[in-house]
Amino acid sequence: MSAQPSLPAVAFVASDRPEAQEACARLIRRYGSVAEGEADIIVALGGDGFMLETLHRNLDRRTPVFGMNRGSVGFLMNDYDERDLAERLAEADRAVIHPLQMDAWTEAGQVHSGLAINEVSLLRQTRQSAKLRISVDGRVRLQELSCDGCLVATPAGSTAYNLSAHGPIIPLDTNVLALTPISAFRPRRWRGALLSHQAKVTFEVLEPDKRPVSATADSFEVRRVQKVEVRERRDIALTMLFDATRSFGERVMAEQFAG
């Protein structure tokens, strides 16, 4: 009989939802827990939003995170099951993701930077549509986009806001970013673009006083921006762990055939 894998040093963390807190308490009683800074693996209990929060909180340590769904949306989470945790972690499939860097210039001349695991999005702040000029690697590709907004999504984020905006689902290993308009008015037929992960995307806000725009890197928001640059941070590698029977790649594939 083969030896059973031992449980690594695990930190259990949970969102504020009661079901997540209760599940966390049960898992700690069963397996014990260490502080996040001492963990080999973090087990996050909640939804996709809490998974992103956990990854952001551990950007410096880059500890692998295994999520279990105790929230409302769980595309990035595994099924909740208290049994056989050591085996699940030992056999887990690793998905490595690289965040986007957002540099946003405001009308006051300040520069604000943030990292996005899912997407960087620009959104109109008032009833007036936003007007954006879009450049890729220093070359203007769209002189004027009239829209509610526009976003750049990572493969990991392509099934989130990007998908709701009718953007493409991107497999994790394709080295591609999605550039997707949000409710484009003109040019009406423009549906976005697929870009190399090495591309630098620049948004210039046209008529910023009349048509103010905010920029958001996941949950970090900067208001009344005038220019935003987005690029991938290949030097930062974050690891999510998925059950071997339902890897992230399989989830992305299944989502493309979902009704």
- Residues serving a catalytic function are 48
Q: What span, in angstroms and rounded, lies between the C-alpha atoms of 184 and 186?
A: 6
Spatial contact of 228 and 159, defined as CB atoms under 8 Å apart: no
- Render 181-230 in DSSP notation, one character per residue: EES--BSTT---EEEETT--EEEEESSTTTS-EEEEETTEEE-SEEEEEE
Spatial contact of 99 and 120, defined as CB atoms under 8 Å apart: no
What angle (nearest 5°) sits at the alpha carbon of residue 160, between those of residues 158 and 164? 100
The residues near 99 (Cβ < 8 Å, ≥ 6 apart) are 59, 115, 116, 117, 154, 232, 233, 236, 238
- Render 154-167 in DSSP notation, one character per residue: -TTTTTTHHHHTTP
Residue 131's SS3 state is strand
Spatial contact of 116 and 100, defined as CB atoms under 8 Å apart: yes
C-beta neighbour count of 46 within 10 angstroms: 29
Question: Tokens 């526009």 identify what position?
Answer: 150
What angle (nearest 5°) sits at the alpha carbon of residue 48, between those of residues 45 and 53? 75
